[in-house]
Amino acid sequence: MRKVFVSLFVAILSLMLLLTGCGGGTTTPTATPTTTPTIPPPPVEKIVIGLQAPITGDFSAEGQWAKQCVEVAQDLINKAGGVLGKQIEIVVVDDGSNAKDSATAAQKMISQGLKEVIASYGSSVTRPAADLYDKNKVVSVGYGCTAVSLTMETQRPYFFRTAGRDDTQSEFFAKFAVEKLGAKKIAIMHDNQDYGKGVADDAKKFLQPSIDAGTTEIVYFDAITKGQSDYSAAITKLKEIAPDLWFFTAYYNEAALLIKQAREMGFDVTFVGNNSVPTPDFEKVAGDAIKGTYMLNEPMPQFLTFPESKTFMDAYKAKYNELPGSIWAVYAADALNALCAAIKTAGTTDPDKVAATMRTMTDAKGITGPLMFTDRGDRKNIPYYAYLYNNDGKLELFWPK
């Protein structure tokens, strides 16, 4: 009897696990990269730049926005006289939102003899392409890839990115929490997954100086289980610890339930969510509980304040009648701006010279701020902002203004 039960139980558990694996999400069929017509060798009067983007697959919305943003930026550059007296031409290749097709897309760009490309969205998608471009001495600029390892694990002399790095957010958080909010007792909660735990660990690291100085302490550092509905046990524990500030580093689903249940239990602590929290779904589930919560994000398209951003957003609105759907697409446009600025300064499209210029240029202005890069190819001084859900439940810029 005992054996039967134990083996039955094990069998059922494994089946349940299988179910989890299968039921986890919807599969979007990944289309093969759309074929782009083979273009003749670039004519002298044109500078051809590639755009590798997820036009199909899971991230297709991001891919479409990136394409639209790059085209608007291209129009603006060409109308202003182009670069080195030549017009810019964009070749779009689809990477299907996955790593396998990303390599194929990169091969296609390389075989067409392109020297500069914009690529791509998603860290794991970008990685194989960045390797290929690097090996073939093609300058590539990523726009939607934030994993720290992309630039810090291996040095790729020809790889850059206009998006920030995950640890930049953690560093900004430490500054925001200590300098702006003056938090003394900080609680950090993550979800034990790569992205969330990474941001949480880094936040702890950047808080260390204040901890050593004795002005701040981390009173809670723990994970919740992703996918649950009831987080009241974790909230009760947190409520007893009574932190000044609660930093949550994971996705919007759990964030919405946590903040809703916390407010129901009368727990009024200051809540800070990281850059994947402020979404329409978060607002819908959390309802009124979002009011007064802070969100950290790279500048959202509606909040960009540089003169270049205004020009760009006006042009984009005139063409598509709305703002770009995400900041990552705007970074794709800035990838084009960075490449054009470097080509202009270097006076050539030679990849070695362009890559060297990218590292040293200081005067390039982008839609999202100055375009400067470190030796490892990361964007310098990526702006980070804290946003506040006001009493109408709308996001407003909070700090720095």
Partner 1 sequence: MDTLIQQLINGLTIGSFYALVALGYSMVYGVMKLINFAHGDLFTLGSYIGYTVLVVGASWVTATFGIWGGMAIALVAAMIGIGVAGLVMERIAYRPVYKAGRLPLVVSALGMSFVISQGIMAIWGPNPQAYLSGWTPKDFLQFGNIRVPVLQIAILVLALGLMALIYWLVERTTFGAAIRAAAQDRDTATLMGINFNLIIFFVFALGPALGGMAGVMQGLKYTRISFNMGWLYGLKAFTATILGGIGNIPGAMIGGLLLGVMEALFEGYVSGAWKDVFIFLILILVLIWRPTGLFGEKTAEKV
**Which residues bind to partner 1, rule: CB under 8 A?**
1-2, 5-6, 8-9, 12, 15-16, 19-20, 22-26, 192, 222-225, 227-230, 232-234, 236-237, 239-240, 253, 256-257, 260-261, 264-266, 281, 284-285, 287-288
- Our CB check for partner 1 shows the closer of 49 and 188 to be 188
Shorter beta-carbon distance to partner 1: residue 256 or 382 = 256
Q: CA nearest 258: which of 353, 338, 190, 203?
A: 190
Nearest approach, Cβ of 394 to partner 1 (angstroms)?
Answer: 17
Closer to partner 1 by CB, 5 or 362: give it.
5
Alpha-carbon Rg for the chain, nearest whole angstrom, is 23
Distance of closest approach, residue 243 Cβ to partner 1, in angstroms: 15
The residues, ordered by sequence, that sit 6+ positions from 161 with a Cβ below 8 Å of its Cβ are 141, 142, 143, 145, 150, 151, 335, 377, 378, 379
Specify the DSSP element, H or E, that contains 307. Answer: helix 307-320
Give the nearest distance from C-beta 26 to partner 1 in angstroms. 5
Which is nearer to partner 1, 257 or 332 (by Cβ)? 257
Residues in contact with 279: Cβ distance below 8 Å, sequence separation at least 6, in sequence order: 252
Comparison of 132 and 259: residue with beta carbon closer to partner 1: 259
Measured at the CA of 222, the angle between CA 217 and CA 223, to 5 degrees, comes to 150
Residue type, 367: I
Q: Measured between alpha carbons, how far is 60 from 58 in angstroms, rounded to an integer?
A: 6
Q: What amino acid is encoded at 292 in this protein?
A: G
Rounded distance between C-alpha atoms, residue 178 and residue 150, angstroms: 29
Q: How far is the CB of 267 from partner 1 (least distance, A)?
A: 9
3-state helix, strand, coil in the chain (%, to 5): 45, 20, 35
Nearer to partner 1, 85 or 266 (CB): 266
Q: Work out how close the CB of 266 gets to partner 1 at its nearest, in angstroms, rounded to a whole number.
A: 4
CB of 101 to partner 1, least distance (A): 23
Torsion of CA 315, 318, 321, 324, to 10 degrees: -10
To partner 1, the closest distance from the beta carbon of 12 in angstroms equals: 6
Q: Between 285 and 388, whose beta carbon lies closer to partner 1?
A: 285
Could you identify the residue written with the tokens 């990169």? Answer: 106
Q: Are 155 and 378 in contact (CB under 8 A)?
A: no
Q: CB-wise, 18 or 152, nearer to partner 1?
A: 18
By CB atoms closer than 10 A (0-12, 13-18, 19+), residue 257 is buried
H helix or E strand, kind and range, residue 221: strand 217-223
Measured CA distances, 43 to 78, 81, 88, 110, 170 (Å)? 16, 17, 11, 17, 46
Question: Nearer to partner 1 by C-beta: 114 or 238?
Answer: 238
Least separation in angstroms between residue 7's CB and partner 1 is: 11
CB of 272 to partner 1, least distance (A): 19
